[in-house]
Chain A
Amino acid sequence: MKYSSQSVAMPYFIAAIGLFVGQIIFGLAMGLQYVVGDFLFPAIPFNIARMVHTNLLIVWLLFGFMGATYFLVPEEAETELYSPKLALVMFWVFLLAGAATILGYLLVPYATLAEMTGNNILATMGREFLEQPLLTKIGIVIVALAFLFNITMTMLKGRKTVISIVLLMGLWGLAIFFLFSFYNPGNLVKDKFYWWWVVHLWVEGVWELIMAAILAFVLIKVTGVDREVIEKWLYVIITLALVTGLIGTGHHYFWIGTPAYWQWLGSVFSALEPIPFFAMTVFAFNMVNRRRREHPNKAAVLWALGTGVMAFLGAGVWGFLHTLAPVNYYTHGSQITAAHGHMAFYGAYVLVVLTMISYAMPLLRGRAANDERAQVCEMWGFWLMTISMVFITLFLTAAGILQVWLQRVSSTPMPFMAVQEQISLFYWMRLWAGVVFAAGLVTYLASFFVKGESKPLIHA
């Protein structure tokens, strides 16, 4: 750690990991509800568990992005953070608002929660992933503005690098597109149309900029490759991500009442969305192969390479599987979507945040890298989580293919629930893979507590 104000990243990282644990607990509960329908009913029905699972994911990734930014920007700008105090205040505001929202989901009926939080003044609730009460949404905007103010001011007084500019573009985009969560037109087609401006333009647009910037930062640090080389790759990756991602939004517009040309625009551009992810894979391996030093933090290098591979598989390959309109006509909203969603979020965003945490945490704790044994433990965590995620994806894909076949392609289509019965074996297998994932997460957590001699702090 070069600048003392980078230490504000620490609470953000801890909160992120804590919420990650919560997400996995709810994921396991839902995995069981898939096959034992009345598990935890009526206390936590499936729809609530799902809402908590997905909202926790988004919130902990945001914590991770913010932590990563607070660590990255001072070092890139070569100056202390504009206001570490503001960063800490916003941490607590965001954590308390997030916790209150999740408790609201769990303790109060959703309709009551909506009434209590002013949804009748401005109706924004009740839409997938944007379920947050109005007050929480306003809170998110305030936190995001304070955060962006802090980061932008830091950058203005310091060195402006391509990495930090790309990161900042991604973060501003994230904040701007979130504003569409306040727009909730009565027309269902319009509603869905703009809903994707938050959801798709986040994960298949501006988040990719954030991801590429964080990955580039860690790769510079652990490989010692020239900044110039990495910056060129960054330019190419972000241009490709934006061109394919922005118009690629069209692959959500196939069957929601939008004009037919979206089937062509969406199919062609989204079919190209794997290219930036592939570029990131090549980029990560290329940089590690050309490394100029052996960084003591081997675990961070593993996470970075894992990000490259898993993001391409999950977001790229599994996305491509069902993105063409004629295919999507059959697969829309099936378990294939769930398979893609799991591996894409894990491969791209979970792994990039964990890459940053893996690189930054030892530095924040005053050492260049963790003890050998702690790193081995951490790498076990990586492999357990990654391999079990591959299996979760494969089982869901198998379930999805069978589901599409029995329910939609067959000449004697079966009803939804009857099909669910038929594919329950795959749900059981997915659940067990989920248990292994949880074991991997516990192993990962344990790695933070493995004691040993630490590597001396070297300035990278």
Chain B
Amino acid sequence: MNTCAQTLVNPSALPAVASDSAPRRLPGDLAIWFFILAELLAFGAFFIAYAFARANNVELFNAQQLALDRNAGAINTMLLLTSSYLVVRAVQAAEAGQGRGAAKWIVGGFACGAGFIVVKLFEYAAKFAAGVSLSSSTFHMFYLILTFFHFMHVILGLVILAALWNGARKGRYGPGNMNGIETGAAYWHMVDLVWLILFPLVYVMR
């Protein structure tokens, strides 16, 4: 009981369920990790560009940021986090030898990702109706470029999840064959990771 309460408060106190003798291993394909690093660089460059452009235009950025839909942003954060969680469960299912069971988890992850797309489209529609465009202000330009660049990544991630679902349904993944599902999952978590910075940076920081 005691340890259980502790672990709930502090997740890092939970034992990482891996025997310490197991060699360190990069999950998924090496190629996807190079790709993820390149993606992180691209997003990082944009985040830093945003921050410094803001430093030269604090008042404009603060004023126009207030008009953003923070509720939509927060809901989307939760959708991506939940989706990531469900994909982790899918990977764990595959690792436990329930390759076909993974498919159900992936459907859930896909649904959350699709929910992100829907919320984002409503958000964009409202912004465009309000006259926001790439040329309407420096803040709007960054808002659109950053979120749209990320939006495209969500779409690509969904395509990858669909492929994983297809593979899982056919029972392709299991303890002996984790490469495919780990590769796709790593990409999907990256899409989540960059949003975790994007949301406070663009929607909240003032």
Contact = CB atoms under 8 A, between A and B. Distances in A.
Are A and B close enough to touch in the complex, i.e. CB under 8 Å?
yes
A168 B142 CA distance: 36
Contacts of B71: none
A272 B45 CA distance: 9
A272 B41 contact: yes
Contact of A269 (B30, B42, B135): B42
A239 B32 CA distance: 11
Given A232-B31, A240-B35, A261 B42 contact: no
Interface in A236-277: 236, 239-240, 243-244, 259-261, 264-265, 267-269, 271-272, 275
A235 B31 contact: yes
Contacts of A235: 31
B38 A259 contact: no
Interface in B82-140: 134-135
Contacts of A267: 49
A285 interface: no
Contact of A236 (B31, B45, B135): B31
Contacts of A261: 134-135, 141, 145
For A260, A264, A271, A275, the residue with the greatest tally of chain B CB atoms inside 10 Å of its CB is A264
A233 interface: yes
Contacts of A77: none
Contacts of B142: 264
A265 B145 contact: yes
Interface in B130-179: 134-135, 141-142, 145
Nearest to A243: B42
Contacts of A279: 34
A263 to B, nearest CB: 10
B199 interface: no
B38 A272 contact: yes
Describe B's contact surface by its main secondary structure: helix
Contacts of B29: 232
A239 B46 CA distance: 19
Contacts of B49: 264, 267-268
Given A265-B145, A268-B46, A260 B135 contact: yes
Nearest to A262: B134
A240 B38 contact: yes
A272 B37 CA distance: 12
A236 B49 CA distance: 25
Contacts of B53: 264
Contacts of A275: 38, 41
A271 B45 contact: yes
B141 A264 contact: yes
Nearest to A265: B145
A264 B53 CA distance: 10
Given A233-B31, A235-B31, A236-B34, A272 B42 contact: yes
A259 B141 CA distance: 11
A235 B35 CA distance: 10
Interface of B: 29-31, 34-35, 38, 41-42, 45-46, 49, 53, 134-135, 141-142, 145
Contacts of A259: 134-135
B45 A268 contact: yes
Nearest to B141: A261
B30 A232 contact: yes
A273 B12 CA distance: 39
Given A232-B29, A272-B42, A272-B45, A264 B34 contact: no
Contacts of B145: 261, 264-265
B143 to A, nearest CB: 11
A296 to B, nearest CB: 31
A208 to B, nearest CB: 14
15 contacts: A232-B29, A240-B38, A243-B42, A259-B134, A259-B135, A260-B135, A261-B134, A261-B141, A264-B49, A264-B142, A265-B145, A267-B49, A268-B46, A269-B42, A279-B34
A259 B137 CA distance: 11
Contacts of B31: 232-233, 235-236
Interface in A209-239: 232-233, 235-236, 239
A419 B35 CA distance: 45
A268 B135 contact: no
Across the A-B interface, give the 5 residue pairs with the lowest CB-CB distance, nearest first.
A232-B31, A261-B141, A261-B134, A236-B31, A268-B45
A243 B39 CA distance: 10
A337 B45 CA distance: 24
Nearest to A259: B135
For B53, B134, B142, the residue with the greatest tally of chain A CB atoms inside 10 Å of its CB is B134
Nearest to A244: B42
A164 B30 CA distance: 23
Given A259-B135, A261-B145, A268 B30 contact: no
Nearest to B53: A264
A236 B142 CA distance: 27
B125 to A, nearest CB: 21
Nearest to B152: A243
B18 to A, nearest CB: 26
A320 to B, nearest CB: 12
Interface in A315-370: none
A82 B34 CA distance: 38
A244 B134 CA distance: 20
B132 to A, nearest CB: 13
A460 to B, nearest CB: 25
Contacts of A233: 31
A279 B29 CA distance: 16
A275 B41 CA distance: 10
Nearest to B35: A236
